[in-house]
Amino acid sequence: MRPIAIITGATAGFGRATAETLARSEFDVVITGRRTEKLESLEEEIRSKTGADVLSLTFDIRDQEAVKQACDKLKGKWENVDVLVNNAGLAAGLSHIHEGVVDDWEQMIDTNIKGLLYITRLISPGMVKRRKGHIVNIGSVAGKEAYEKGNVYVATKFAIDGLTQAMRIDLVEHGIKVTAINPGAAETEFSLVRFKGDQEEADKVYDGFTPLYAEDIAEAILFAITRPPHVNIDDMLIMPTSQARSRKIVRK
């Protein structure tokens, strides 16, 4: 039987690439996000290209009840989740702390921290019961070092760093693996979302250097979850070659 991976935030970026990469490998995949049309077209594409089994679940990860209702649909073989990739997340805005937008802060905290917790709380008991499973949290270089105007986004990613370490301590005795994957600048929909649809601002982020691509992170996730049973990858920090720190990027 093929192992099962749930990937949150699979309608774009890292999540989409991870769903495709895992399906091309040995996994059946559960793909989630808010945009049903994107999930439906990805489901169709993965099925036709890879033959993997796919289940799409549309929900807003900030809505605890919606997360519960979606997880209730994991019946039959889908109950036995082997891998949870906690990827859904965003940065909203970029401003100094005294000029920050409180709605943006709440969206980031509710998605990046609380959403991750809601789904982990529902999926991890099955892993504990089966004494088998792997949780992969997508952190960031922003969870390793602060940068100007990053404040609340940085705080959510520091929280993920702390949570990943704490989850590993809580789950080690149950045989569950926990990994953090921390990317540097990657060209996805991330900056378009951060700048609320301003394509010109988003393009500036990746101007003059080669950023990471979603596939680079998908390959790292695949590597982490296919190590032998005695090996856990605790933490990976993956940067573009031209980026030495959050705000040290060599541009041509």
**If contact means CB under 5 to 8 A according to the sort of partner, which of ligand 8X3, ligand NDP, none does residue 238 touch?**
none
Show Cβ contacts of residue 160 under 8 Å, excluding neighbours closer than 6 positions. 86, 112, 113, 116, 137, 138, 139, 140, 143, 180
- Closest approach of ligand NDP to the CB of residue 228, in Å: 27
**Triad 92, 97, 101: Cα angle to 5°:** 45
Radius of gyration for the chain, computed over Cα atoms and rounded to the nearest angstrom: 17
- Nearest CA-CA partner of 11 in 30, 37, 38, 29: 38
Choose between 37 and 173: whose C-beta lies nearer to ligand NDP: 37
CB of 229 to ligand NDP, least distance (A): 27
Residue whose CB is nearest to ligand NDP in the complex, by number: 13
Tell me the one-letter amino acid at 250.
Answer: V
Binding site for ligand NDP (CB under 6 A): 9-15, 33-35, 38, 60-62, 87-90, 111, 138, 140, 183, 185-186, 188-190, 193
CB of 94 to ligand 8X3, least distance (A): 8
- Alpha carbon distance, N-terminus to C-terminus of the chain: 49
Question: Catalytic residue among 118, 147, 153, 206, which?
Answer: 153
Up-side HSE of residue 185: CA atoms within 13 Å toward CB? 23
What does 52 interact with, of ligand 8X3, ligand NDP, none (CB < 5 to 8 A by kind)?
Answer: none
CB of 222 to ligand NDP, least distance (A): 16
What's the gap between Cα 6 and its chain centre?
10
Kindly list the residues in this chain that would bind ligand 8X3 in the complex (CB under 6 A). Answer: 140-142, 150, 185, 246
Our answer to whether residue 213 is catalytic in this structure is no
Catalytic residues: 153
